[in-house]
A and B are shown apart, each in its own frame.
Chain A
Amino acid sequence: MTLLRYLLLTVCTASFLACSPDEETTPKVETKEPTPYKFSIPSTFPQNLQIPADNPTTEEGVELGRFLFYEKKLSGNNTMSCGSCHQQDKAFTDGRALAVGIQGKPHRRSAMSLANLLWINQLNWDGSATSLEQQARIPIENEVELHQSLSGAVQKLQATAMYPPMFKKAFGSDVITEDNLLKALAQFQRTLISGNSRYDRYLLKQEALTPDEVEGMKLFLTHPEPGEGLRGANCGDCHGGTLLSMQTFHNNGLDAVLKDNGMGDITGNSRHNGLFRAPSLRNIALTAPYMHDGRFKTLEEVLNHYNDHMQYDSPNISPLIVEATNEVGGKTLMITEEEKRKVIAFLHTLTDTTFTKDKRFSDPFK
Chain B
Amino acid sequence: MKKTALNLLFGCLAVISFSACSDDDENNALGTVALEIQNMVGTESLELEDKTYTSPAGDTYAVSNFKYYISNIKLLSQDGQTVFMEPDSYHLIAQGGKSSFELKDVPAGVYNKLELSIGVDQARNLSTDQYGDLDPSNEMAWDWDTGYKFLTLVGPYTGDTRSGNLVFHVGGDANYKTITLDLPQAVDVRTKPKYNLVLLADVNELFQGPNLIDFDVMNTGGHGTGPSMIAENYSNGFLKVVEVK
Contacts and interface: CB of A to CB of B under 8 A. Distances in A.
Interface of A: 1, 4-5, 8-9, 11-12, 15-16, 18-19, 43-48, 119, 203, 218, 221-225, 228, 230, 232, 236, 240-243, 246-248, 271, 319-320, 322-324
Given A12-B8, A242-B128, A271-B49, 18 more contacts: A1-B5, A4-B5, A5-B8, A11-B9, A12-B12, A16-B15, A46-B130, A46-B137, A221-B142, A221-B143, A228-B223, A230-B223, A246-B138, A319-B64, A319-B155, A320-B167, A323-B167, A323-B219
Contacts of B136: 44, 241-242
A18 B13 CA distance: 13
A218 B219 CA distance: 23
B8 A1 contact: no
28 contacts: A1-B1, A4-B5, A8-B5, A8-B8, A8-B9, A8-B12, A12-B8, A15-B12, A16-B19, A18-B21, A19-B19, A19-B20, A44-B128, A44-B137, A45-B137, A46-B135, A46-B137, A203-B128, A218-B143, A218-B145, A221-B142, A225-B223, A225-B224, A240-B141, A241-B139, A319-B164, A322-B164, A323-B167
Nearest to B8: A8
B144 interface: yes
A314 to B, nearest CB: 14
A25 B44 CA distance: 53
A236 B143 CA distance: 8
Nearest to A1: B1
A339 B193 CA distance: 58
B221 interface: yes
Nearest to B221: A225
Contacts of B12: 8, 11-12, 15
Given A1-B5, A12-B8, A15-B16, A223 B137 contact: no
A306 B1 CA distance: 85
B191 interface: no
Nearest to A248: B139
B139 A246 contact: yes
B244 interface: no
B245 interface: no
Contact of A223 (B20, B64, B166, B169): B169
A15 B64 CA distance: 54
Contacts of A242: 128, 136-137, 141
A240 B164 contact: no
Interface residues on B, range: 35 or more
A9 B226 CA distance: 67
Contacts of A46: 130, 135, 137-138
A203 B144 contact: yes
Interface centre among A8, A203, A248 (most CB of B within 10 A): A8
Contacts, number: 101
B167 A223 contact: yes
Contacts of A5: 5, 8
Contacts of B155: 319
A119 B137 contact: yes
Interface of B: 1-2, 5, 8-9, 12, 15-16, 19-21, 49, 64, 128, 130, 135-139, 141-145, 154-156, 164-167, 169, 219-221, 223-224, 226
A248 B145 CA distance: 23
Given A225-B220, A319-B64, A43 B128 contact: yes
B9 to A, nearest CB: 5
B137 A323 contact: no
A324 to B, nearest CB: 8
A5 B11 CA distance: 13
A95 B144 CA distance: 32
Contacts of A223: 167, 169, 223
Contacts of B8: 5, 8-9, 12
B226 A228 contact: yes
B2 A241 contact: no
B164 A1 contact: no
Interface centre among B49, B64, B144 (most CB of A within 10 A): B144
Contacts of B219: 323
A322 B169 contact: no
Nearest to A204: B128
A16 B20 CA distance: 10
Contacts of B9: 8, 11
A73 to B, nearest CB: 36
Interface centre among A43, A218, A230, A320 (most CB of B within 10 A): A320
Contacts of A243: 137
Given A230-B223, A319-B155, A222 B143 contact: yes
A46 B9 CA distance: 47
A5 B3 CA distance: 11
Nearest to A19: B21
A61 to B, nearest CB: 25
Contacts of B5: 1, 4-5, 8
A319 B61 CA distance: 13
B17 to A, nearest CB: 10
Nearest to B167: A323
Nearest to B225: A230
A248 B94 CA distance: 14
